[in-house]
Each structure stands twice: as C-alpha cells, then as structure tokens.
C-alpha cells in the first residue's frame, strides 16, 4: 500500500513541472513590459529606472534561470505581489481559499444527496415514467448554462420571493448558511445531470452481473440484493466520476462566485483580469490545478483501499 502511494506521488512530479512551465509561459506571454505592468499604478518611470528594476528582478536572465527561480520561489510560498492590493498573492489566495472550498464541498454534498438516489431509483425503475422523468431532468441538467440557472434562482428566490440573499456572504453562521444556499445549488447543477446518468448506468451494469442474479436465485429479498449487494459496487465508479469532475467544479466556481459575489478565489481571479493583475490570474490557475491533482491522488488512494485489485496493477 505504501509502495502504491509512493509511486502515485512520484508520478505527480512531471505533471507539476509541466503545470508550472505552463503558468510560467503564461506570465511571459503577457504583452507589455512586466516592470511597467507591475508598477502600472505609479508615476511614469525613466528607462534607466526600468532597466535597474529589470536587473534587480532578474528579468534579463535567460529563461531557464528565470524558471528555476520561479519554481524555487513557489516552493518558498512566494507567488509575487498583487499590483492591485499591493499584498502577497499567496496571502490573497490563502485568505480566499476556505470560501472556495466551502462552496465546492457543499455542492458535492448536494450532488450526492440528489443525483445519486435519483440515478439509482431510475435504474431500479428502468423503463417506467420515473426513469423517463429522471433522465429528462438529467438532460436539462447538462443543457442549462449554470450561470443562467444561478440568475434564475436569484430572480425567483431572491428578488421575487425574497427568501434568500442574492449577493455576498453573511457574517453570522445562520446568515452565512443562507447566503451559501443559492451559489452552492447553482454550482451543483454542473454535476447533477452527469452524476444522475452515471449512477443510473453504473447501477444497471451491476444489476446485470451474475452475482446479483445468483443472489436473486437463492431467494434473497429484492431490497437486500439491490441495496446490500449491488449498490456498493455501483457507487465506486460514480465517486470516481465526481472526483474526475472536480476540475469542472472549480471552473464553475469561478463564474458562480462572480455572479453571487462570493468572496472565493474564483471571484478574485475574475476581478484581477480586469485590473490587469496578472500574477493573481496565473497563480489561481496554478493553485486550482494543484488542487485537482491532489483530489485525483486522494481518489486513487481511496479507490485502492476499497478495491484491492487496483494496487496489484
């Protein structure tokens, strides 16, 4: 087991090198002089001053040297300075991290609570109106733009019915929970349709296996067969799909945080684009990618606990 985890961690290294190369390239693709961008809010500088700063920041060094310095700085937790807030980018991101995590985790819980039972029910009632209704619902789930769904929720539950706050984050625990409802429901839509479909097809597949038929044949009750024998095996691929879709969940969070004024990393990044605060944008990409890799790693390790066959491969 330890060996398996170690191997998976080592396999991550080239990926992390690749990701930092891309974010490094993004920074260098930004049109315009980096020094001017960094100092954009201050007075006009002379060429001499710019040259001195360039030299000091090492922008005249060859690219490989700059890349190594970039990675070393990252390892030290130094992501540079945000031109907008004048504070460290790593500080800005770490401040906003909990809000993004709360939002995404809440949506995953919502997906588990709604999509899983719906998909399983539709597999058990295959061909009935319940199945048709659930699959139609799933089709709408993948066809509705999530951000527009958010606007509609805002319109109905915020403005029309006035049940829930539409923008911002509440301070007290109750207010906080209330302000979390609309963004997290909106974000869950991104996975709702997909996971419902996945749960259905996975359950159908397991139900057609020999051991399930055997269980039926030896006279076991349908409920026991379905929920004790079939369900656990059907759930494994569904959980893998959810962790595999973590990246699209983070992508959705960027947009949804912006719509609902939720103070997470996503909104930070979108606001940074228009302030030309590029280091915040590229580091958001970096942080999100690392999060995706870590979630997939956690999933693989968990998977190998549940299903020992994986470890032997």
Partner 1 sequence: MAEQVVELRADAAYENVTRPKSFWNSALRQLIRNNRAILGFAVLLVLVLAAVFAEQIAPYDPIKTNYSNVKQPPSAEHFIGTDELGRDGFSRLIYGARISLAVGFIVSSISVTIGVALGAIAGYFGGIADMAIMRVVDLMMAFPFLVLAIALVAVFGPSLFNMMVALIVLYWIWFARVVRGMVLTLRETEFIVGAKAAGASDIAIIFRHILPNVFPVVVVQGSFSVAEAILIAATLSYLGLGAQPPTPEWGSMLSNAKELMRILPVMSIAPGVAIMITVLAINFIGDALRDALDPTLRQ
Instruction: List interacting residues with partner 1 (CB under 8 A).
Output: 15, 18-19, 22, 26, 29-31, 139-140, 142-149, 151-152, 154-155, 159-160, 247-248, 250-252, 254-255, 258, 269-270, 272-274, 278, 281-282, 284-285, 288-289, 292-293
Q: Is 88 helix (H, G, I), strand (E, B) or coil?
A: strand
Shortest separation between residue 103's beta carbon and partner 1, angstroms: 14
Q: Within its chain, how far is the Cα of 260 from the centroid?
A: 17
DSSP class of 261: T
Shortest separation between residue 62's beta carbon and partner 1, angstroms: 22
Of 164 and 270, the one with the shorter C-beta distance to partner 1 is 270
Shortest separation between residue 223's beta carbon and partner 1, angstroms: 31
Of 215 and 292, the one with the shorter C-beta distance to partner 1 is 292
Shortest separation between residue 275's beta carbon and partner 1, angstroms: 11
Burial of 191 (0-12, 13-18, 19+ CB in 10 A): buried
Contact yes or no for 115/108 (Cβ under 8 A): no
Taking the C-alpha atoms of residue 84 and residue 269, their distance in angstroms, rounded to an integer, is 12
Of 1 and 139, the one with the shorter C-beta distance to partner 1 is 139
Of 9 and 222, the one with the shorter C-beta distance to partner 1 is 9
Q: Is 81 helix (H, G, I), strand (E, B) or coil?
A: strand
| Buried residues in 94-119 as b, exposed as e (16+ CB within 10 A) | eebeebbebbbebbbebbbebbbebb
Q: How many residues does the chain have?
A: 313
Taking the C-alpha atoms of residue 307 and residue 203, their distance in angstroms, rounded to an integer, is 17
Of 123 and 295, the one with the shorter C-beta distance to partner 1 is 295
Shortest separation between residue 143's beta carbon and partner 1, angstroms: 4
Of 83 and 281, the one with the shorter C-beta distance to partner 1 is 281
Shortest separation between residue 274's beta carbon and partner 1, angstroms: 7
């Amino acid at each position: 087991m330890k060996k398996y985890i170690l191997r998976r961690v080592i396999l991550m290294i080239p990926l992390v090198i690749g990701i930092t190369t891309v974010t490094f390239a993004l920074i260098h693709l930004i049109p315009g002089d980096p020094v001017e961008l960094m100092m954009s809010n201050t007075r006009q500088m002379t060429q001499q001053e710019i040259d001195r700063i360039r030299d000091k920041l090492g922008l005249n060094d060859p690219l490989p040297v700059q890349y190594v310095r970039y990675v070393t700085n990252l390892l030290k937790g130094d992501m540079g300075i945000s031109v907008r807030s004048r504070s460290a980018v790593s500080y800005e991101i770490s401040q906003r991290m909990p809000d993004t995590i709360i939002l995404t985790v809440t949506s995953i819980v919502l997906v588990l609570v709604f999509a899983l039972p719906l998909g399983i029910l539709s597999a058990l009632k295959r061909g009935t109106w319940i199945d048709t209704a659930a699959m139609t619902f799933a089709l709408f789930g993948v066809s509705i733009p999530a951000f527009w769904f958010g606007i509609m929720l805002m319109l109905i539950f915020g403005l029309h019915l006035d049940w829930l706050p539409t923008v911002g984050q509440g301070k007290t625990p109750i207010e906080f929970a209330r302000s979390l409802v609309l963004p997290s429901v909106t974000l869950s839509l991104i996975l709702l349709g997909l996971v419902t479909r996945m749960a259905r097809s996975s359950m159908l597949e397991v139900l057609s296996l020999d051991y399930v038929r055997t269980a039926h044949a030896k006279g076991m009750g349908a409920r026991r067969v379905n929920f004790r024998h079939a369900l656990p095996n059907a759930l494994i691929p569904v959980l893998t799909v959810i962790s595999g879709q973590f990246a699209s969940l983070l992508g959705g969070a960027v947009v949804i945080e912006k719509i609902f004024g939720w103070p997470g990393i996503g909104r930070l990044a979108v606001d940074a684009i228009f302030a030309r605060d590029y280091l915040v944008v590229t580091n958001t990409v970096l942080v999100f990618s690392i999060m995706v890799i870590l979630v997939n790693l956690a999933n693989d390790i968990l998977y190998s606990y549940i299903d020992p066959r994986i470890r032997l491969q």
